[in-house]
Structure 1
């Protein structure tokens, strides 16, 4: 059995968090919007998404399942590292999880963040959260939290998406739709355009955030075309916009695109691929399975929504591969990636991309 504990003591599964009952919804949303001065009346407008599902976000249950799957995969490989789980916006909070780990003597933590792409909310804000958790516990000088690289183009994350998209296209063609009339909508969370640019302005107007999504959409589309033997057109679309309506956010919105496709008259069905998310949490269940599906039905389109990577065996195995990269300090040229942008370096900051050779 290989002893990997020389480099890290434990794994920290790190996520957004979500309410687990009706009484949790508004306090949770207050945490999400802390410091922005958003009144409870506005929060109630968002709360109905959660209240529709009994006030329970699926994200915590999904993280429990992912934690168990990671523990199983680590054990199967003989890697004796405990897995802790902490959230940004709801229990278990990072500060409490870090305190628990430290009490067990685990002070060198490697974070697996449930965010595949580069953005402030997916990278920078987690870094700040980790620093605050260490500071609250007076561990800044005696503990550390690193994180695995952004894994948007790692085969473990991408393989389930390719399989799911291929299966969705096949179901629609079996139902009588021509592949050329099936539009694949690759959907991700919209963010302010300024935040997108800050994710890496050297990658274009909308930064690394958009560039990573576009590169991955191309990879998935080509793989599906090769597997099915017929090409379907595709678009990158955005969803789940929030915040001040006067602030520009990334567009086009998925529902607007479905309307445009209807007017154009060339589409008979849509396949929605929520590749901006690692699991089927609230934005997927409400914004896609309800709102986008309703838009497709209104347009008279066939509709298929692809599952997220979730706890697909390839994804779980891929996350452990990413952990092992850090344990073994694997050279960049040996790290798998499916786009020309990867492998993303371990220590790149938001807005500054470092060449893999210098990572």
Structure 2
């Protein structure tokens, strides 16, 4: 086989599925979308209307679907530009285009071996296992309908891949550059991600993974690794070696009596102000794109809190459809394909934790309510 063919050999896979959360695309979609998200939890409709106020502030439209369209286009362009003949499909967990419909389309087009890119970079129940549970549910529907059987594998966590970290560091530098020059060298970095219950964080990751035993489970350990990498890149670029930084959280949605990861970003901004900090840059390392939780929780709520405090603050962009991220996905596809063919390809990862596992263990990131079947595990 020629070198060029080896570099684009995606066998045994014949399709890639971009799997995301989904979001409403109009005011009439908001409550039905939230009903999908919270199905089985017994949350009253009037409560969902209250929760939906964030979406109504933006015309009932979440940015996430349009951003996934942009990522889909970026992946297809990168694949075509590099000679990778692999069709890319898109399906969501909670809104159209739905996951089950995307799998139906994949089956109808004659594909049988599918790789999945979930738009979550980290280990954890909501960011990994729940997607795999949804895949198992959708595959069961296809089996009931008598459609051809699909084999589905999920790409490894990409949190420490250069194609994810480097655009994030560049975005942090760009945000830093928007602050008044007098405060740039002393501005704090606040790395934000979605808060989750402490118990869920502690159980995140593969029990056999050393990262699970450090810093509060794999979820926290992986975020701290990215924060360290980005902070180091910012230090190298600015020459400020001792810039303070902290991992903080946002978007808490659970019952108040259940411990969740803290501190919240707004509380952290207050703490910074009280300590005399000159400025802050919010870096949303926990999110692939500027979806609603970034637009509301950071750009609206946290920005307003910083303004009330008189604390200069800026927000870094997410990776989104950055060409480097699209290239990273291509590399992950070819890496996994080579592994399935019995090769030992290079596995790119920055930092000290190393590349994540390809296949999740059954005990990985357990469902906090009750065990459920999940795809792509062993």
Scaled by the length of structure 2, what TM-score is found? Answer: 0.89
Among candidates 26, 34, 39, match of residue 34 of structure 1: 39
Give the structure 1 partner of residue 131 of structure 2: 126
Match of 2:185 in 1: 179
Segments of 5+ residues of structure 2 without an aligned counterpart are 366-377
Instruction: State the shift of 1:312 in Å.
Output: 1.1
Please name the residue that 2:352 is paired with.
340
Match of 2:82 among 77, 81, 105: 77
Alignment of 1:109-124 (within 5 A): 109-124=114-129
Equivalence for 1:203: 213
User: How many Å apart are 1:91 and its aligned residue?
Assistant: 0.8
Q: State the 1:169 CA deviation.
A: 2.3
Aligned to 2:374: none
Shift in Å, 1:203:
2.2
How far the C-alpha of 1:168 sits from its partner, in A, is 2.3
> Residue 94 of structure 1 contacts residue 133 of structure 1 at CA under 8 Å; is this kept in 2?
yes
CA spacing shift, 1:350–1:191, aligned 2, 3 Å:
farther
Greater CA drift, 319-328 or 282-291: 319-328
Across the aligned residues of Structure 1 and Structure 2, the Cα RMSD in angstroms comes to 1.9
Contact 2:335 2:345 in 1 (8 A): no
The reply to whether residue 312 of structure 1 matches residue 322 of structure 2 is yes
Shift of 1:333: 7.2
Structure-1 separation of matches of 2:332 and 2:118: 11
The equivalent of 1:256 in structure 2 is 267
1:273-292 equivalences under 5 Å are 273-292=283-302
Between the aligned partners of 1:127 and 1:352, the Cα distance in structure 2 is: 11
Deviation digits for residues 61-96 of structure 1 (CA, Å, limit 9, x no counterpart): 111111111011111111111111000000111111
Moved over 4 A (4+): 330-333, 350-353
Contact 2:122 / 2:222 at 8 angstroms: preserved in 1?
Answer: yes
Q: Secondary structure at 2:182's aligned position in 1?
A: coil
Q: Normalized against structure 1, the TM-score is what? A: 0.93
* Structure 2 contact 177–184 (Cα < 8 Å) conserved: no
- What is the aligned counterpart of 1:15 among 15, 20, 23? 20
Contact preservation (8 Å) 1:134, 1:140: no
Deviation at 1:209, TM superposition (A): 0.1
- 2:198 aligns with 193
Q: Which structure is higher in RCO with an 8 Å CA cutoff and minimum separation 6? A: 2
**Do the aligned partners of residues 140 and 276 (structure 1) sit closer, same or farther apart at CA in structure 2, a change above 3 Å counting?**
farther
SS at match of 2:123: coil
In the TM superposition, what is the alpha-carbon distance from 1:246 to its structure 2 partner? 1.7
Cα deviation code 1:3-60 (max 9, x no counterpart): 6353111000000000111111000001101111111111112101001111111100
**8 A Cα contact 1:156 1:315, kept in partner:** yes
1:349 aligns with 2:364: no
Query: Does structure 2 conserve the Cα–Cα contact (< 8 Å) formed by 1:170 and 1:228?
Result: no
The aligned counterpart of 1:244 is 255
**Unaligned 5+ runs, structure 1:** 354-358
CA distance in 2, matches of 1:70, 1:19: 23
For residues 139 and 60 of structure 2, the distance between their equivalents in structure 1, rounded to whole angstroms, comes to 31
Q: Give the paired residue count.
A: 351
